[in-house]
Structure 1
Amino acid sequence: MAISIEDHQLPYNTHNLYDVNFFDDKIRTLVTHTPSFVNTWVAETQQKIHHNNHPADHPLLVGLDIEWRPNRMRQIENPAATLQLSTDKDCLIFQLLHCPTGIPQPLRDFLSNKNYTFVGVGIEGDVEKLVGDYDVSIGNAVDLRVLAAEKLGAVQWKNSGIKALVKEILGKQIEKPKRVTLSRWDNEWLTGDQVQYACLDAFLCYKIGESLYAA
């Protein structure tokens, strides 16, 4: 299958690991609500980013996305439930809502570090929600739609979604099933479909950003 997921089924209530397969890429995905695992992921990711040989003019990219329980009532705005970050073939799905101690400082420092460029589709809305829900600031955020319009020379991309960008820039097809998009992202245990969906959103943002900056 072009897109699939393998559950490592770890016997812990702190975290789990998955391999999300997207065509030729296997994305190692950590799902956790536990600060110590988040801190380790951040430290290892920073090491990997800096050890990779990037051209001097190429930004250090991190794909970013969030998910939350759909708002069913007009007066109630549900907080962000998960934060997804991806660099190359590593992904973190951090269950913000279930973290017992709030967002750990190493992650706050990572997100606010202007040496990294966080890329996403409509990322301004995600940044605004993270600030409002968790008082988290993102140091340097770039909307892939704006970047695509600039690099591809067509203003139409400013209104595009991730499916269209994946097809145009990566030459691949993805589905965004409503049953997953509108699912209970605030559940303590995410389903395999949710993990695959959340991982790919962040990973594909990274891949689109990588391709556009290399153009």
Structure 2
Amino acid sequence: MVAATVSMRLRRSTRTHDAYRYKVRAAGAGRRGFLAMVTSSPSVARRWVHTTLWRGHHRLRHGKPLTVGMGVQWTPPFRRPSTLQLCCGHRCLVFQIAQAGGGIPNALRRFLRDYPSVEFVGYNVLADCLMLSEHYGLVVSRATELRVLTGMGRASMEGMAERLLGWSVSKSRKVAMSNWNRRKLSKAQVTYACLDANLSFCLGVHARRTRQSVLTAMAAGSD
């Protein structure tokens, strides 16, 4: 298995956010590009949510699930979420929720809570949802554990990525245990957070498509 390469390039830095170009190059999958928005600004997070809903309105209007990769980072030993990272399509948001001063936009609250067709998938996602609820009052109405969705109950996220996507990736424990409460995240932290949310999204989409293909084949065989 050839290791996937992940690159991150800062495209723009403003008073309210940093915009990155994030690329994953993997054997057999070519190069996939993503846009990452890193911010503690509620208004920037709100715009990301509105754009995501606008881009997914066709699926939502027809009752089709909209998959969103989700993850949370915190600074050990405390388990208060420092960042909430989301990924849908080729767009990622790293919301520095601990730096937002309690300013969580209502659009984000509703996005997590009020859209039954929006499915948030992640690794150990139910624990993440519990932390978000306890510390910020955020309710995630439809959260799905990747290990359940893929049927790989004991696998690591890296193991799932290698088996299902053909991506050999590594998530740095040193970065995971770093200080996520800093005002400006390091490039390594942004890369880690985006990889977490992006892998969740890609694995969630892959699992849903595989399941749908199996169901379609079963239905065709029963005719």
TM-score (normalised: structure 1):
0.88
Q: Gaps (5+ residues) in structure 2?
A: 26-30, 211-223
Q: Is the 8 A contact 2:83 2:95 kept in 1?
A: yes
> What residue is the counterpart of 2:215 in the other structure?
none
The residue identity in structure 1 corresponding to 2:201 is: Y
Secondary structure in 2 aligned to 1:70? coil
2:163 is aligned with 1:168: yes
Q: Gaps (5+ residues) in structure 1?
A: 72-76, 150-156
- What aligned pairs does 1:169-188 form with structure 2 within 5 A after superposition? 169-188=164-183
Identity %: 31
Show CA shifts across 1:76-101 (max 9, x none): x3410000000011000000001034
Distance 1:166 1:178 in 2: 17
> What residue is the counterpart of 2:11 in the other structure?
8
Secondary structure in 2 aligned to 1:168? helix
> What residue is the counterpart of 2:28 in the other structure?
none
Show CA shifts across 1:9-31 (max 9, x none): 42x23111001111111110000
Show CA shifts across 1:145-195 (max 9, x none): 01111xxxxxxx112111011001100111111221111111110011110
CA RMSD of aligned residues (A): 1.6
Distance 1:27 1:193 in 2: 16
2:38 is aligned with 1:43: no
The residue identity in structure 2 corresponding to 1:106 is: A
The residue identity in structure 2 corresponding to 1:199 is: C
Q: Is the 8 A contact 1:81 1:186 kept in 2?
A: yes
Q: Is the 8 A contact 2:146 2:203 kept in 1?
A: yes
- What aligned pairs does 1:37-186 form with structure 2 within 5 A after superposition? 37-51=44-58, 58-71=64-77, 77-112=78-113, 113-149=115-151, 157-186=152-181
TM-score (normalised: structure 2):
0.85
Q: Is the 8 A contact 1:58 1:213 kept in 2?
A: no
Show CA shifts across 1:68-122 (max 9, x none): 0010xxxxx3410000000011000000001034211100000002220000011
